[in-house]
Structure 1
Amino acid sequence: MKEPLRDPPPIPLRFLEWFCPPALYEGIEGDLLEQFDMDIKAHGYKYARRRLVLNIFKFFRPGIILRNRFLFQLIDLIMFTNYLIVAYRNIRKSKAFSAINVCGLGIGLAACLLIFQFVSFELSYDKFNEKFDRTYRVTNDRYQNGKLIQHGTIMYPTIGPTMAKDYPEIEEYTRLMPGGELNVKVNDKNYRGDYCHFVDEHFLSVFTFPLLAGNKTTALKDRFNIVLSEKTAKKYFGLTDGNYTDIIGKTLYWGLDVQPYTISGVCMDPPPNSHIQFEGLVSYSTLISAEESGADNSWTWSDMRHYLVLKPGADYKALESKFEAFSEKYFQGDKVSGSVEKFFLQPLKDAHLYSDYEYDIARTANGKAVWAMLIVALFILLIAWINYINLTTSRAIDRAKEVGLRKVMGAVKSQLIKQFIFESFLITVLAFVFAFILVITLQSSFNQIVNNKFSLATIVTSLSSGNILIVVAVIIACVILSGFYPAFILSSYQPAVVLKGKFQHSSRGHFLRKALVIFQFTASAALITGTIIVSRQLLYMNSADLGIDIHDTLIVQGPELSGYDSTFIQRAESYKHALLQIDGVVNAATSNNIPGNRLGRSFGIRLAEEPSSSHYTMSNMGVDYSFFDTYDVALLAGRKFLPTDHKVNFDDLNTVIINKNAVKLLGIDSVQNAVGKEIVWGGDGTRKWTIVGVVGDFHQESLKKPMEPMIFRPSYGANNPTSIRLKTADTQKVIADIEGIYKNFFPGNSFQYFFLRDSYQRQYNDDNRFGKVISIFTVLAIIISCLGLIGLSSYTAVQRTKEIGVRKVLGASIYSIVTLLSVDFMKLVCIAALLSLPIAYYSMQNWLQGYTYRITLSWMLFVMPVFVVLVIALFTISAQVLRAAMSNPADTLKYE
């Protein structure tokens, strides 16, 4: 008779005993156990168990073997059921901790899912294009007098075709010029507000905008051809059945042009993640005629954008290095265009997120902000999983006796690890369910904040399959890791120690939990600091003195169907005079542009007294004589425009006003001395203008950009918008009165208006959106961190309940007990707050570099978040600790 084992026999042998005749079992039991012990020593338990099963099978005929296969499947099912039952009992037993874990993980996952929707969409821009990886847009920098004067995507019509001719690496090219609004007439009905581009016949080959009707090879080849988007075709022609071929060959009229435009195609609407947006595409050849060929061959007409498709395997950096010779060959320094031209290539994948270019027609966003949101999402997820690890390991004493008893009953370490990982998995599943419920509930509100239509499907449709697998793998890895550490720790307890009551937390476990708490609150404090600084910068931009008054200003679009003739100035003056008769209208002015919009530049300006080789660049604007009064622009010297400065014929104009920056650029020593000087501007380089006044600098665009040298000329134009300064409590009545006068003076034209303040603030849409999102998710990060702190502090209080009772019996006050239990946590939070300072400073300093005008990072901006974090942590801890401190000692010590 073999000596019995100290541990119970393995499960397969127990089942063998149940199913085997006693005589047969007694004959093979000893041999099986002996081999089992040898296999454990040589190869480990897992291998030994598998070998034992095979050895058992050898003693049975095939029918019994089949029965035992089913038996061991049943064993696995029983084990799984056991894991599920134990996990359920532990969750039910510790409802508070389980709720904190599920809520913390759920909020973290929900925050990540919402941010991933936004980030995945932003990262998906232009990837629908079949030639996405080989497509580049040409950008250029212009230099005058050794200084960078323009950094943009706008350049000359010859660039793309000439590069394609000179460099064999280029497979094809396309060129584009923004056409502005499509003010069209279709079947005696006018439509306004749809946006179009002039594009060449290669456009639909370079970019993937599939045609629903028409031939993509020829649709944009002939003059006066137009391709409409699906949405626009439906609007213009009332299509409902999708039969777009019915409108091919039909015509429409653009503005006052008597030339009909032929519809040659209908394309799918540009996807929302396309950096190029349009409602119509007009053939580029429409710009080219025998009399006006500059759109095709000019080296000075700067209105075009160019895209290149490189051949497979071509290195765009190697091609870019050849552009210096290209510039010297065709521009000869600054002899041709008046500027030194430098050309570069930007990958199409960067056109949306990494575009700091002027005159950019792309739909752009801040790449730094997008990646910052992704980092915030990962931080929130880490904080949530850290909570789980901390709370699980902090309950080690409760689980230690369970582990000891299960080991005595025959459980091995691998089974215990499986049990604890299964519990982690179950908590994570519940957290995912909670997260999905939160996302569905908050989706509408989140979409309003980011001004988009996102859903959970956005993540799947926006990311490539490879990226989706990476995201899923990261989440699975985090789930396993977050469960593995507690499982490894809890399964390592020795039965002989824990069952004697000598179990203590290890110093390593204490250190890790402290480190994780510090990480949580470091991230939270850094996010609070970032939120405060972002909010201060946004407040600064919204309240800064622009040098121009844009409040209470209504912009009425110009009459698009009224031509300019010898009577137009008089009609415009009568129109303005009629507006001023309305009660509530303070002033009115017209201009060819309005504050908030990018102005055109003039490159060949110089003082008449300087040599012709001098060149200066200024932003230019055409305004009427009321403009500076309407916008309250300060006059520094000279006079403003007078009605007599306006001329019907452009060639008769001879007076200009410049701003203070322009005075500095021209090298004039004072604004007073600038008045009366003559400048050469436009024409063949000999036309002279007299400076009659100098005005103060103002922010034509957002505070992200510097105030530039500006030159103003007197101007009236048929399409110029009207700026109307209001002062009234009944805005809608005044607008109705303005509409009546507008329609009386410009019958047949559509009345469209907006408030300048709203238009100007749209420049900060991305910044405001980033500020709102970062604020919301900072609050979520703090909530998750506080949930963890609630769990840890309440558990600590429970563990020290008897100590508290003894101290109270010995005369300790509630204040001293609260202080005793809180001080350790507050130390960790203080360390976290201090560690967050350099992280927040570096991050925010880097973010503020994107603004020419920005706030100064004072020490108060960093002290305030530290104070906020400490207060939040103190209140979080105190609520739990105070309850323990106020407990009755008689209740806690009566069993001692």
Structure 2
Amino acid sequence: MLKHYWNTALRNLLRYKLFATINIVGLSISIAIFLALTNYVSYQFSYDKFYPGGERIYRIDYFEYQQGQPVLQTARTHDRTALLVHEYAPEVEAVTRVYNEKAYIFTEDVRIVDQNMLYVDSSFLKVFPLKIVSGSADQSLTPPSSVMISKSQARVYFGDADPMGKILYFNERLPFTVTGVFEDIPASASLDFDFLLSWSTMPYYGWVSKDGNFSAPWTFTYVRLKENITDIAAVNRGLTAMANEHITTLEKRGHTARYELRPYENLHTANELSGEAKPATRKTILYALLSLAVFILLAAWINYVNLSLARSLERADEIGVRKVFGASRTAISGQFLLEAAILSCITFVIGCGLYLLFTGPFAALLFTNIAFMPTQPTTWGLYFVGFVTGTTLIAFHPAHFISKYKPALILKNKLGTGKGKANLLHQGLMIFQLFLAVAIVGITLIAGRQLSFMRAFDSGFNTRHTVTLRAPASTNSDSLRRTRFNAFRNDMLQLAALRSGTASMNIPGQEIRFHDEDIHPVGSGTEHKQSFWIMWIDEGYQETFGLTLLGGRNFNAKETGLTVMINETAARALGYSTPTDAVNTRITTGDHEIATVVGVWKDYHHESVHKPVDPIVFFHRHPNEYGYYSFNVESREGNYLKAMETIWHKHYPNDPFIYYYMDRFFEEQYRADELFAKLLSLFSVISITVASLGLFGMASLAMVKRTKEIGVRKVLGATVWNIVVMLSKTYIKLIAISCAFAFPLAYYITWHWLQTFAYKIDIRWWMIILPGVIVLLATLLTIASQSIKAAVANPAKSLKDQ
């Protein structure tokens, strides 16, 4: 019997090729998208989950307030914090400071720039238990100038030789001895590194105090709690007491502060603070993508139900004959369920193939720069069982509905006209499908408009024709660094393609590295609740980036004394009514330096439009470490980069020539939004396609049911147009109902998403209505062929009893 069912099921799939093809296409695409989205979301949620006991690892965040309003919210803390943690939080088992940098690391034979390195305390491995290949977890990070290196980088620098005891040079040829090797950490790490340098190196060279201080938050502090500690609020209270007792500048400024633990395993999807080691991924976007994955799969299953019911009328004779010869409802239901199981197995294999194809060889077409969770055999098995079981269960309704047909009515061609509970279910499913299509298209349209707005947004500076070079790391501590740069810039500006050049600590598109909460006008009794961002630049910054001067003057090359430029927001934060009021005034910094404000620039967006413009104070100082050298060019035509590289190697022979086109660099901060919009566009097309397949099934069902009605209408004089309009009314009604639900949802979701931007578009009425029009047109085009086919059919054929 089972063999008979199997052969019949295969024969029916081959016989009804259109039905099988539509279902295979819809289900295969849906499972491929479902796999891509769930694996992408799983990868994002897998961040930082690889450390043993990782649920006990926390980062200490710092918050500062004035009159209850936030002044500073940062992922970084003061470098003395870690030294007092055990005193104020006995629940802590281990604590470590971490300072992240990108460094130029080299040997005599291998030279690589922008390597991820961390300065860490010797207790780092107690907080983050790495797998040690060589060296001691207790001693490797204790001596000054010691470094632990990842296994892959040890192979890069030393080949197959034992790296232990060998020398690596950092930046300005500072020697570090390799004291340990650890297994590479996964790419899904918020704290990314290949090199661990001993913290004791910094006080050894006099860069920081051995005992640290509470002058400014600049380093990360991570802790591992003791086992079975659940009262995190108590730990936070102890840490906050430390902040308010030891940060002596708080009282003078009228500020309060608190420290707060944040779970390390949640950092990647938590609300982003300033100073993060890596940009976070918004959890709402991940949940939205996961919801889309489920909805697209549901839409494909709805198609299957509708198409199965449509085809059941075509197979009515077969069912009637089976029943006359004694087939039970269970047997008939089983036949349809077996067909569903076979079809789901085929579509799962094809869907997995599409997923592997478009996340592998053809990834650049759809999923550029997207990482997916590696799928293990066990996971594949769970996906298979879940999909086949789900499809088979979904098929239970049409199988049950079909098995209820009475043979007498079937063989007399007296089946119902499609009214009643079954028809209500069909229409309800179709409304849900159209609702998803309209909502997704609406969300995509608004997201696309916001992205276009961001691209066209006037950031207040010029990046289009700006080339930026990574400043030489080998001269970080060179007292002649500024003199060398001036000579280098003079040679560069001899090139006809270059118009101006500047050195700066940061460039637009990057978060500024330093801030100061204690800047205020000299002699002022009013200190405003504001954190000022600090930049070191030279006199070429204004011309190179095309900034607008609102008052005062630009820096000049021979400035005397400490001078600063500020932006409009900084002028307001300092208490000045107009930008020009700030010119020639003096301000004092947290380091008790006195600086003269020589000019005010119009606000420009140093970072993305997700954030408002921050108050920035620009000091006329050459960045003595790291930094960037930027040059404004006439155009990108010509071979000027080769000439620039030649001049670079003349002045900086020990550093590689690394350049960025600034507009591309600046746009990198919108990568997450670009990805979201790209995925939404893809899913809009897919959801419309899947909905159209469902509509095709509904139309097929309607035409079979209303064949005689159409024949009668034609005999009574109805035109083809009359018939097409009559058949389309139902679908227009379904779309109107789906729009009534989809429009508010699309508005609600996009309104909340737009709140994450400081500068955003307004949602216009047409942005909500247009998706309904698009889906309506797609619907009418889909059903047009079936409607016209039914309308032009010979009525004599339609009215003849089968």
- TM-score, normalised to structure 2, is 0.94
- Give the aligned partner of residue 397 of structure 2: 485
Match of 2:614 among 703, 708, 711: 708
> Secondary structure at 1:352's aligned position in 2?
helix
Confirm or deny that 1:88 pairs with 2:10. yes
> Secondary structure at 1:227's aligned position in 2?
strand
> Does the C-alpha gap of structure 1 residues 858 and 196 become closer, same or farther in structure 2, counting only changes over 3 Å?
same
Q: Do the aligned residues in 1 keep the contact of 2:131 with 2:182 (CA within 8 Å)?
A: yes
Q: Do the aligned residues in 2 keep the contact of 1:338 with 1:615 (CA within 8 Å)?
A: no
- Give the aligned partner of residue 637 of structure 2: 730
CA drift of 1:87 comes to: 1.6
- Give the aligned partner of residue 658 of structure 1: 566
- Give the aligned partner of residue 413 of structure 1: 329
Write the distance in 1 (CA, Å) between the matches of 2:380 and 2:142: 41
Confirm or deny that 1:779 pairs with 2:685. yes
Q: Deviations over 1:508-553 (max 9, x none)?
A: 0000000000000100111001111111111111110001111110
Write the distance in 1 (CA, Å) between the matches of 2:51 and 2:34: 28
> Does the C-alpha gap of structure 1 residues 884 and 496 become closer, same or farther in structure 2, counting only changes over 3 Å?
closer
Answer with 564-573 or 247-256: which moved more: 564-573
Alignment of 1:420-435 (within 5 A): 420-435=336-351
Answer with 590-599 or 568-577: which moved more: 568-577
Q: Deviations over 1:834-875 (max 9, x none)?
A: 211011111111211211111111112111111111111111
- Give the aligned partner of residue 253 of structure 1: 169
Q: Do the aligned residues in 1 keep the contact of 2:99 with 2:119 (CA within 8 Å)?
A: yes
CA drift of 1:189 comes to: 4.9
- Give the aligned partner of residue 560 of structure 1: 473
Confirm or deny that 1:576 pairs with 2:482. no
Write the distance in 1 (CA, Å) between the matches of 2:334 and 2:22: 23
Confirm or deny that 1:739 pairs with 2:645. yes
Write the distance in 1 (CA, Å) between the matches of 2:186 and 2:231: 27
Write the distance in 2 (CA, Å) between the matches of 1:485 and 1:128: 44
Match of 2:700 among 760, 784, 794: 794
Q: Do the aligned residues in 1 keep the contact of 2:465 with 2:636 (CA within 8 Å)?
A: no
Match of 1:233 among 141, 154, 179: 154
- Give the aligned partner of residue 182 of structure 2: 267
Alignment of 1:213-224 (within 5 A): 213-224=134-145
Q: Do the aligned residues in 2 keep the contact of 1:111 with 1:780 (CA within 8 Å)?
A: no
Answer with 538-547 or 610-619: which moved more: 610-619
> Does the C-alpha gap of structure 1 residues 670 and 318 become closer, same or farther in structure 2, counting only changes over 3 Å?
closer
Q: Deviations over 1:111-167 (max 9, x none)?
A: 111212211211211221111222222212122454312222111123334233333
Alignment of 1:160-179 (within 5 A): 160-178=82-100
- Give the aligned partner of residue 639 of structure 1: 553
Answer with 567-576 or 431-440: which moved more: 567-576
> Does the C-alpha gap of structure 1 residues 356 and 563 become closer, same or farther in structure 2, counting only changes over 3 Å?
closer
Q: Do the aligned residues in 2 keep the contact of 1:299 with 1:336 (CA within 8 Å)?
A: no
> Secondary structure at 2:335's aligned position in 1?
helix
Q: Deviations over 1:754-797 (max 9, x none)?
A: 11111111111111111111211221111111111112213322
Q: Deviations over 1:481-520 (max 9, x none)?
A: 3011112222233445544544314500000000000000
Match of 2:119 among 172, 179, 198: 198
Write the distance in 1 (CA, Å) between the matches of 2:203 and 2:66: 30
Confirm or deny that 1:207 pairs with 2:123. no
Amino acid at match of 2:435: T
| Bigger Cα Rg | 1
Q: Do the aligned residues in 2 keep the contact of 1:226 with 1:282 (CA within 8 Å)?
A: yes
Match of 1:122 among 44, 64, 71: 44
Answer with 555-564 or 600-609: which moved more: 555-564
- Give the aligned partner of residue 318 of structure 1: 233
Q: Do the aligned residues in 2 keep the contact of 1:157 with 1:303 (CA within 8 Å)?
A: yes
Write the distance in 2 (CA, Å) between the matches of 1:337 and 1:187: 51
Write the distance in 2 (CA, Å) between the matches of 1:450 and 1:184: 33
CA drift of 1:379 comes to: 0.4
Q: Do the aligned residues in 2 keep the contact of 1:606 with 1:616 (CA within 8 Å)?
A: no
Alignment of 1:46-445 (within 5 A): 79-144=1-66, 146-178=68-100, 180-187=101-108, 189-239=110-160, 246-258=162-174, 260-289=175-204, 294=209, 296-322=211-237, 323-331=239-247, 334-335=250-251, 339-362=255-278, 364-444=280-360, 445=362
Write the distance in 2 (CA, Å) between the matches of 1:566 and 1:203: 33
> Does the C-alpha gap of structure 1 residues 394 and 536 become closer, same or farther in structure 2, counting only changes over 3 Å?
same
- Give the aligned partner of residue 605 of structure 1: 519
Amino acid at match of 2:41: V
Q: Deviations over 1:272-301 (max 9, x none)?
A: 112221121111222234966635431224
Q: Do the aligned residues in 1 keep the contact of 2:148 with 2:197 (CA within 8 Å)?
A: yes
Q: Do the aligned residues in 1 keep the contact of 2:309 with 2:701 (CA within 8 Å)?
A: no
Answer with 884-893 or 220-229: which moved more: 884-893
> Does the C-alpha gap of structure 1 residues 125 and 629 become closer, same or farther in structure 2, counting only changes over 3 Å?
same
> Does the C-alpha gap of structure 1 residues 404 and 230 become closer, same or farther in structure 2, counting only changes over 3 Å?
same
Write the distance in 2 (CA, Å) between the matches of 1:595 and 1:779: 35
Q: Do the aligned residues in 2 keep the contact of 1:131 with 1:206 (CA within 8 Å)?
A: no
- Give the aligned partner of residue 460 of structure 1: 376
Write the distance in 2 (CA, Å) between the matches of 1:197 and 1:337: 33
CA drift of 1:477 comes to: 4.8
Q: Aligned Cα RMSD in Å?
A: 2.6
Write the distance in 2 (CA, Å) between the matches of 1:86 and 1:858: 55
Write the distance in 2 (CA, Å) between the matches of 1:752 and 1:607: 40
Q: Deviations over 1:225-253 (max 9, x none)?
A: 111122221221133xxx6xx11011122
Write the distance in 1 (CA, Å) between the matches of 2:412 and 2:111: 91
Write the distance in 2 (CA, Å) between the matches of 1:113 and 1:589: 48
- Give the aligned partner of residue 551 of structure 1: 464
Amino acid at match of 2:45: L
Q: Do the aligned residues in 1 keep the contact of 2:253 with 2:527 (CA within 8 Å)?
A: no
Write the distance in 2 (CA, Å) between the matches of 1:615 and 1:824: 61
Amino acid at match of 2:710: I
CA drift of 1:316 comes to: 4.6
CA drift of 1:570 comes to: 4.0
Amino acid at match of 2:631: I
CA drift of 1:824 comes to: 0.7
Q: Do the aligned residues in 1 keep the contact of 2:150 with 2:183 (CA within 8 Å)?
A: yes
CA drift of 1:709 comes to: 0.8
Write the distance in 2 (CA, Å) between the matches of 1:308 and 1:391: 58
CA drift of 1:433 comes to: 2.2
Answer with 392-401 or 534-543: which moved more: 392-401
Q: Do the aligned residues in 2 keep the contact of 1:327 with 1:333 (CA within 8 Å)?
A: no
Q: Deviations over 1:549-603 (max 9, x none)?
A: 1111000122222366665444433322222221111211111221111111112
CA drift of 1:447 comes to: 5.7
Answer with 874-883 or 87-96: which moved more: 87-96
> Does the C-alpha gap of structure 1 residues 135 and 878 become closer, same or farther in structure 2, counting only changes over 3 Å?
same
Amino acid at match of 1:860: W
Write the distance in 1 (CA, Å) between the matches of 2:343 and 2:497: 64
Confirm or deny that 1:621 pairs with 2:535. yes
> Does the C-alpha gap of structure 1 residues 423 and 161 become closer, same or farther in structure 2, counting only changes over 3 Å?
farther
> Does the C-alpha gap of structure 1 residues 127 and 412 become closer, same or farther in structure 2, counting only changes over 3 Å?
same
> Does the C-alpha gap of structure 1 residues 762 and 316 become closer, same or farther in structure 2, counting only changes over 3 Å?
farther
Answer with 510-519 or 209-218: which moved more: 209-218
> Does the C-alpha gap of structure 1 residues 138 and 570 become closer, same or farther in structure 2, counting only changes over 3 Å?
closer
CA drift of 1:678 comes to: 1.3
Write the distance in 2 (CA, Å) between the matches of 1:794 and 1:289: 81
Answer with 514-523 or 571-580: which moved more: 571-580
Amino acid at match of 1:360: E
- Give the aligned partner of residue 72 of structure 1: none
Match of 2:765 among 853, 859, 864: 859
Write the distance in 2 (CA, Å) between the matches of 1:525 and 1:174: 51
Q: Which runs of 5+ in 2 are unaligned?
A: none
Amino acid at match of 2:374: T
Write the distance in 2 (CA, Å) between the matches of 1:604 and 1:615: 10
Q: Paired residues, what number?
A: 797
CA drift of 1:416 comes to: 2.9
